[in-house]
Amino acid sequence: MLETPHSTAAPPPRWQIVTAFAAVYVIWGSTYIGIRFAVETIPPFSMAGTRAFAAGALLYIWARLRGAPKPEFVHWRAAAIVGGLLLLGGNGLLSWAERRVPSGVSALIIGSVPLWMVLLEWLWHSGPRPTVGIVSGLVVGFIGLGFLVTPGRPGSGTHLDIYGVASLLVAAFLWAAGSLYSRRARLPSSQLLAAAMEMLGGGALLMVAGGMIGEWRHFEPARVTIRSVVAWLYLTSFGSLIGFTAYVWLLKATTTARVSTYAYVNPVVAVCLGWALAGEQITKQTLIAASAIILAVVIIVTQSWEVPTEV
């Protein structure tokens, strides 16, 4: 497991940072196809909630056994807010949308998170005014998003469900908000414990949301396929337990700009896996939009590369 970085301690070893980035780059890129397979027969909010809660419970036990102090109420409150934004708002809406939108396209829309983070950092936290380079990146990125979600000709494979697209855009915005809030929230000093609490809080909120919209009432366990079960196990162990923990750790271990680089690796992995494993179409419109979005993220990240880490 990754050790918790502290602002007064030496920087974490390079191998830990590289390992964490590899987990966020590759594993999270593969979770989009995993979510698609899981929600084929498992209700989306309940699927996302049970995977997050199970992973959070295991990680919480592990962190406490390793000596992490018992969290206070203020820690639980902050973790519930972060978990609500990242998991209920971000992952829950993504899981729901993947019943309507291909996994590769979903990954491209969620890949707009750095665009929202730059805007929120400036408007919400009174961060530095975006430079001309960053503004140009934002413009290119939003043009790419607009081109991606613009309805194409019937039968062309480019027509996307408007409700699914809207949910993905809201999910990206809430994920960006949760990521920024987590850097200032009063969370435990142990990043493992903080990640566990966020997954527990977010998982609980997801399951409550699933119950409120009737997922549990209409759920038929006998109709769940082996593919959905395997996907749920993969998402729980790799996506939540390893990938989410690595992401939360990196938010404290390095700059927001560097962490944001996952946003132009994940879509490439997701699009390729969606094509190879689920037969999803890769249209000319998708390729052009993907190029614009990824270029925008590259511009923003490179322009913001020296933003200091806040701990």
**Is pLDDT at 305 greater than 70 in this prediction?**
no
Angle, CA 294 vertex, CA 37 and CA 83 arms, to 5°: 55
| Reported confidence tier of residue 152, pLDDT bands at 50, 70, 90 | low
7-27 tens-digit pLDDT: 445 678 888 888 998 889 899
Q: Is residue 1 part of a domain?
A: no
pLDDT score for 53 = 97
Report the C-alpha gap between 222 and 224 in whole angstroms.
6
Mean pLDDT score across all residues of the chain: 86
pLDDT score for 155 = 42
Sign of the CA dihedral running 231, 232, 233, 235: positive
pLDDT score for 310 = 30
pLDDT score for 308 = 31
Which residue range is the domain that position 183 belongs to? 14-303
Q: Is residue 86 part of a domain?
A: yes
**How long is the chain?**
311
Q: Is residue 260 part of a domain?
A: yes
70-116 tens-digit pLDDT: 999 999 999 999 999 999 999 999 999 999 999 999 998 998 888 88
Q: Which amino acid is at 228?
A: S
Q: Is residue 309 part of a domain?
A: no
Q: Is residue 2 part of a domain?
A: no
Among the residue ranges 121-130, 269-278, 287-296, the one predicted with the least confidence is 121-130
3-state helix, strand, coil in the chain (%, to 5): 75, 0, 25
Q: Looking at the 3D structure of the chain, how many domains does it have?
A: 1
pTM for this model (two decimals): 0.84
Q: Is residue 3 part of a domain?
A: no
pLDDT score for 153 = 41
**Is pLDDT at 156 greater than 50 in this prediction?**
no
Q: Is residue 276 part of a domain?
A: yes
